[in-house]
Amino acid sequence: MKIGFIGLGIMGKPMSKNLLKAGYSLVVYNRSAQAVQELVELGATKAASPKEVAGQCEVVITMLPNSPEVKEVVLGPNGVLEGAQPGSILIDASSIAPGASQEIAAKLAQKGVRMLDAPVSGGEPKAINGTLAFMVGGSQADFDACFPIFEAMGSSAVLCGEVGAGNVTKLANQTIVAVNIAAISEALVLATKAGVDPERVYQAIRGGLAGSAVLDAKAPMIFKRTFDPGFRIDLHIKDLNNVLETGHTLGSALPLTAMVMEMMQALKINGLERADHSALVQFYEKLAHIEVK
């Protein structure tokens, strides 16, 4: 099977590499020539446009920043829709608004092109080692057909419902992650302020009810003061914007999400928008006049 991949950023490039490792023939497109060249050297074929990618492939995967970029690449001039053949499948692994996924899927369907919205969780480390979690929206048949592709890039893939359900699930995921990091940061600053070693606090609680994958991933980064992403604050802000927009549209209150969003906005104002979201601890550190380490 020949797969197209559009968007070779912090997530897309390692995901593409894992597809090549799994033996898939890959056609790639990205605005940055350097990322394309790196994949070409590993065996991928370069395409000049999203249209050209879609014209050569049975399945096209997009991994882009947000809804406007996905719409442009898929529906715009020289986009995926112009080149795609009836019966082909678009897997959009971007984290975008659920309504945008449904809009794109409806326009693709007019040409007989199927779609799965399949955002991921795990950040760059899991993209590199091929253990991403895919949250998928679409038909059972399309999900089953693409399951081996998900297996090449991730450790789990769950069909959550029709198109749009994948991104609803991702929004829920991003809310839980954001609030969890805020709680971890608040607790570690409290321990430090009280004169208790925060790393020992972490070791004591990680095996109990407070333990979580987020705690194990982010607490060590905080202790080492390594805030290289990971998952950038500006991208988490983008996701929380989509959470709040969707919640407001549906009439679902999101007070904790809104609070963490304001914390992240404060960090962005202070120049930390490209830091890992574990840098949320610095919001609390500034208030407490202390540093966790």
29 and 83 in contact (C-beta within 8 Å)? no
Helix (H, G, I), strand (E, B) or coil at 74: helix
Q: Which two tokens stand for residue 216?
A: 């194990």
Q: Which stretches of the chain are DSSP H helices?
A: 12-21, 33-41, 50-56, 67-75, 80-83, 98-109, 123-129, 140-153, 165-193, 198-205, 213-224, 233-250, 255-269, 281-288
The pair of structure tokens assigned to 195 is 């004169």
Calpha distance 218→241 (Å, rounded): 22
> Residues with Cβ < 8 Å from 96, sequence gap 6 or more?
66, 67, 70, 117, 119, 167, 242
Please give the helix or strand (H or E) that residue 6 lies within, else none: strand 2-6
Identify the H or E element spanning 132: strand 132-137
Structure letter (DSSP) for residue 135: E
Question: Distance (Å, rounded) from C-alpha 133 to C-alpha 172?
Answer: 14
Residue among 13, 126, 170, 218 flagged as catalytic: 170
Clarify whether 170 is annotated catalytic: yes
Give me the amino acid identity at 250.
L
Separation CA 199–CA 191 (nearest Å): 9
Distance CA 226, CA 204 (A): 22
Catalytic residues: 170
